[in-house]
Structure 1
Amino acid sequence: PMGAKTDHLPRYTIDKGNVARACRSTLSAVTAVLRAKLPWLIAACAVVWSFMVWASTGSTCPPNHLCVPFEVGGSPSTAMPYVEYSDITSTAAVYRVSSLIKTVRSPYQLVQMYETLFFGKILVIDGALMMTERDEFNYHESIVHTTLNYLPEARRVLVIGGGDGGTVTQLVKHANLHEIVWVEIDEVVIQFAKDFFPRQAKALQDPRVSLHIQNAATFVQEARYPVTGVNNGAFDAILIDSTDFGQAESLFTPQFYADCKALLAPKGILTFNLDSPQWGQVRVAS
């Protein structure tokens, strides 16, 4: 049998000292090579890493621009993200979108509709986010129900702006209202609501709602709406749901608010959205 004293197989003896010396010699040689080549290896790794970063973010970002990679926030998207800037906080919010559905430049503003991956459809006017399909009710319920809970006997309400239909949608839930006058300057926004927010646009079918495509500053100044005999033609509430730039600047003058006050019933309420008292102190004060 193999390994028995009677076999004639050769025997080998391992010299542990020689093995240790060989390992030390090899390690010394590898160390010497690394010491000589290490700066070059580091430089090569830095070049490769820089190229990978450059390739993932694009070639260059123009001065005074915010460059956002397509894969921001998760898996890659083939559509350019929508970015909303805030001049008050000097920040930008990035929304991942699956597509830019529609863009129309009306006589007053640029109106766009995006399909986003989280908020659903979003309405953007002149680059500013106006409404999201997912959580629009947070804003519209607040501006309507908070106001009307103080006016349980309200009969007539004037809505200024609100072309997306969200405010009027909440108003028609109040059975005590006899008349809802809606003044919106841009018919394109109304059409966008009909095309992409049908639940909100459905409020137009309520017989108590009358829509006027007109500059609201002109509407209240000229008091064109006829007296119907309810509250002597006054409004129990005026809800201003407008942008605060561009064509809406005429809605931020002393004359406009004086005209609104003249249209209010004795205990009427004027409601409008406003900048954050903490973030936009200068604009709020003005």
Structure 2
Amino acid sequence: MPNPEGEPKLPATTTNGKTATCKVIVLNARINSVEAEDGYMILETGKSVGEQIALYIKADPKYRYGIWIDLNNDGEKQHSETNITFDQEKNYTLGARTITIYGKITTLNCSNGKLYNLSVENNKALEELNCLNNSLTILDVSQNTALQNLWCQMNFLTIIDVSQNKALKKLECYYNRLTTLDISQNKSLGWLSFDNNQIKKAAMNAVLGALPERSTSDEAKVYIQMKDSAEEGNELPDAAKVIEAKMKNWKVYQFENGKDKEL
């Protein structure tokens, strides 16, 4: 697991008069307002200037001409920043620790990038996002209504709101710090993996109860717990909830000794 970057924090007063500490995410990107009209995403990394970051990018061919990466965070498009490789991973040399990807991108894989901030809400075209194994504490996908597949495992997320992602088919969010997971609006979901979180029995029951109806041919699967993991904080659901999930054509799994064990 990565180590989380330090973030600025400030106190705030809640509605019941108590004091809470809120994380403040400060993005340092210099945005080109003209280029931003077609969408953009901001990545902030713990990598040093001069290091490389691996990115996998896909886009509709008719929009590829407008895609570029501001690698030096100056808000200006240089010719070298338009040399994008599509449909395969490419290493890009960092000219700054904050970079901005412009254009209508459908798939972004920025896994293993030492990211501590990732802003994707201004790219409405996004259908697939893989940001696994970073140091993210916040991920806002509420504006990404076209999103179908999300891999955000191995971060430090305490919440992931997928209520606006009606098209979501696959969600992998294991190895985070989630205490709840609301999938009640994800009627297209057919694959869910969220072991190694902090989801107790009542919240676990709620997740299984919210699984959508699937057909046998969908081969829907949900992974809820890794039994022999020292970091596992999830609790098993009531047996009745497992039966309920199976009645909706879901297979419920627990990892044990490196193997899938169906409950």
TM-score by length of 1: 0.24
**Greater strand content:** 2
Q: Give the number of the structure whose alpha-carbon radius of gyration is greater.
A: 1
**Greater helix content:** 1
TM-score by length of 2: 0.25
